[in-house]
Homo-oligomer: A and B are copies of this chain.
Amino acid sequence: MQKFALIGAGFIGSVHAHNLASHPDVDFKLVYDIDLQRATTLAAQHGATAAASLDQIFENNDLDAVFIASSTDSHAQNLRHAADAGLAALVEKPIDLDLETAKSTVAYVERAGIKAMVNFNRRFDRAHAELKELVHTGQIGDVALLQLTSRGPALPPVDYLKSSGGQFRDQAVHFYDLARWITGQDPVKIHAYGSALAAPEIAEFGDVDTSISSLLFPDGALAQIDCVRHTNYGYDERIEALGSEGMAESERQRSGHVTLLQGQQAQSHGLHGNWFDRVQPTYAASLGAFVQSLEDDREVPITLREGLKSQAIAQAAVRSAASGRSETIDYSL
């Protein structure tokens, strides 16, 4: 049984609270939020207690782990506190939007020796995980080409985008991570184009809503990643992996199973109307994998260092979009 505190009681925090409360090996103790009322409400829903301050979490002798789901700019600080307190930590990505800060945080945490995992939840998508397994068991031979599609249904609030770090660091980074995970390789070069098409106003703060990234792996394998913020046709996420022996895909997923045939047309359920309907199950699975690594005293499935690597790719994508060059990815930590 692992005793958990949760930091952050916003939308995604409430998802994690539900999963913490439902996990049979988790004792969900505390919730902290900068808005105490929000923490109190969420804690009450799940039989936990609201913490009035972070000290109640980090100076607590009766906790095993902390789930950091607070605002991005507090991730690094909370990780350092967890390291000081000897608490295992599961942290939402990114570790910090500033890569240098992220690196020094990881170094700090590693010295402390706590178990710490970055929450790249999409690795726990059941179909993506099956695809990865097909690749890793040699079903498609040597990987030659990946195609990753990441398209959200509608533009998030501009306020969110402003503090998100931009499309490459916020959205594409999940797929850089998936590309590394599926191939088992770190790409060496990246090229990216990006445009602000659905929301030209976000170009003012340097963001884009439509982008394509090309990756080159050490053995010559290639990857394409297309990221769109606003599809107007639902949430479209899928992966193809083509290898020397065949191709595996994690397919587009429809939101239902009814078709109406009339005249010359067939009208079917389209895709999920929002991202959460599609990715919801990944959060419980991700938490479950983290808890299992604590129970078994094994390495966490996604180390902070892996988080840094995917962030380094995103950083190179940002550079490429500006320079018009294929950029070498710098993994020095």
**A155-188 CB contacts (< 8 Å) to partner B:** none
A259 within 8 A of B: yes
A233 to B126, CA, bound (A): 21
Take A130-B256, A273-B264, A325-B326 as given contacts and tell me if A221 and B195 are in contact as well, using a CB distance cutoff of 8 Å.
yes
A residues 207-266 near B (Cβ < 8 Å) are 210-212, 214, 216, 220-224, 226, 228, 230-234, 236, 242, 244-266
CA–CA, A332 to B269, complex, Å? 41
Residues from chain B with a CB closer than 8 A to the CB of A247 are 231, 233, 236, 260-262
Does A142 touch B at the CB level, under 8 Å? yes
Number of copies: 4
CA gap between A134 and B268 in the complex, in Å: 12
A145 is an interface residue with CB less than 8 A from chain B: yes
Q: Are A233 and B261 in contact (CB under 8 A)?
A: yes
Assess whether B261 is in contact with A271, with CB atoms less than 8 Å apart. yes
A326 touches B193 (CB 8 A): yes
The answer to whether A246 touches B268 (Cβ under 8 A) is no
| A242-B193 contact given A262-B270, A264-B234, A270-B265, CB 8 Å threshold | no
Complex contact B222–A326 (CB within 8 A):
no
How far apart sit A271 and B260, CA to CA, in the bound complex (Å)?
12
> Which residues of B have CB within 8 Å of A216?
193, 195
A151 contacts chain B at the CB level, 8 A cutoff: yes
Is A61 an interface residue, CB under 8 A from the partner?
no
A267 touches B265 (CB 8 A): yes
Interface pair A198/B258, CB less than 8 Å apart: no
A-B contacts besides A127-B258, A195-B222, A324-B326, 14 pairs, CB < 8 Å:
A139-B260, A144-B195, A144-B228, A145-B210, A193-B326, A210-B222, A211-B222, A224-B224, A253-B257, A254-B266, A261-B270, A263-B270, A264-B270, A267-B268
